[in-house]
Amino acid sequence: MSTPALRVVIAEDSAVLREGLVALLADRGLAVCAAVADADALLAAVAVHRPDVTVVDVRMPPTFTDEGLQAAIELRRDYPGTGVLVFSQYVETRYATRLLAAGTAGVGYLLKDRVADVAEFADALARVAAGGTALDPRSSASCWVPAAGRRDWPP
């Protein structure tokens, strides 16, 4: 008997990256339930599909500031059994700290430019879906160690 495919919802505003993620994950046997371009669509897709894990970009429409990270925080609160992997080119310290405030189980924060192996990315997704953690050292260090002169620490 084979194990069921890991169910994934992707939220990425760049169409090329979104479709690339869909293809890469499908090639590795993961079931992509939905691939959406904004945070509202992410929240709706998770409510409908109840995936094992989500892949969430930080900056999404309409303001391209922190909509994805805000949605990730909401998902952690409303769907504690769903893993949340933030996948971004940005380290958003204040919100990443809030994302991790409830604990690191079932959460990840990886930087796009530092993922060099698709198999490792798929493994990170599986780890987060199983309740584990996948944190890029640069993103996690930024969450816990304030930069010199920062006035907004702690968040």
pLDDT in tens, 112-144: 988 888 999 999 999 999 999 998 776 544 444
Which residue reads 């890469």 in tokens?
Answer: 24
Between the alpha carbon of residue 110 and those of residues 20, 44, 52, 135, 137, the distances in Å are 17, 23, 18, 6, 9
Q: Please tell me what DSSP assigns to residue 112.
A: G
Task: Report the SS3 class of residue 146.
Answer: coil
* Token couple for 43: 């929240």
Cβ–Cβ < 8 Å for 114, 136: yes
CB 75 within 8 Å of CB 128: no
What predicted TM-score, i.e. pTM, was given to this entire model?
0.85
Q: Is 8 helix (H, G, I), strand (E, B) or coil?
A: strand
- Joined tokens for residue 57: 């970009």
User: Per-residue pLDDT tens for 36-90?
Assistant: 999 999 999 999 999 999 999 999 999 998 899 999 999 999 999 999 999 988 7
End-to-end Cα distance, the chain? 48
